[in-house]
Amino acid sequence: MRTEKPAQRAEIGDAQFGIPQGLAAEEQIVVAPDDCASRWGNTGSLVWSTPAMLGYMEQACVGALGSHLPPAYMTVGTAVTLRHLAPTPVGMRVIIRVELREMVGRRLTFSFTAADGRETVGEGSHERVIVERARFEDKVRLKDAGGTRP
């Protein structure tokens, strides 16, 4: 579900994107065993893990921006502040809501909440930066080949 407000512009060189301030999206999941803290070394803890919360939040941000960026561009995460407030057991539904709060140049800052139907279980903010896909992938290939960035 998305809601949009009047567009502001994020600019990279000659490229401009009409990304609406207040862009919002939500992701719904059901906590699965692979999402649990036990996967990350907390043996026997069958509750939604902080790394899973972070991943789903990031996925919701990327999904919200998807139709606003041409294929030659993408976003990468650069910062996160996350508070995991309460446990959520396997099988319970969680709704992750993200909203674009600020745009400065190519930096986008989202706020997010995660709620399991009984309470808010997580909240925070996430910064993403718009980058040129080919240039980013070139840097990855160079690094993978053992080279250094110019």
Per-residue pLDDT of the chain (150 residues; tens, 9 = 90+): 545 555 555 555 445 778 988 999 999 999 999 999 999 988 889 999 999 999 999 999 999 998 899 899 999 999 999 999 999 999 999 999 999 999 998 999 999 999 999 999 999 999 999 999 999 999 999 998 886 665
Q: Kindly report the pTM of this predicted structure.
A: 0.84
Residue where the block lists tokens 């070394």:
41
Residue where the block lists tokens 């009409």:
18
**Catalytic position from the list 26, 68, 75, 84:** 84
**Catalytic position from the list 50, 109, 113, 132:** 50
Is 95 inside any structural domain? yes
* pLDDT at residue 119, rounded to an integer: 98
Q: Whole domain around residue 23: which residue ranges?
A: 7-144
Is 2 inside any structural domain? no
Is 12 inside any structural domain? yes
Is 18 inside any structural domain? yes
Q: How many domains does the chain have?
A: 1
Inter-residue contact 19 to 108 (CB < 8 Å): yes
* pLDDT at residue 95, rounded to an integer: 98
- Amino acid found at 108: L
Is 149 inside any structural domain? no
The answer to whether residue 84 is catalytic is: yes
CATH number at 97 reads 3.10.129.10
The answer to whether residue 26 is catalytic is: no
Is 94 inside any structural domain? yes
In angstroms, the Cα distances linking 79 to 107, 124, 145 are: 11, 11, 27
Residue whose C-alpha is closest to residue 130's, from 68, 60, 42: 68
**Catalytic position from the list 26, 27, 58, 123:** 58
* pLDDT at residue 8, rounded to an integer: 56
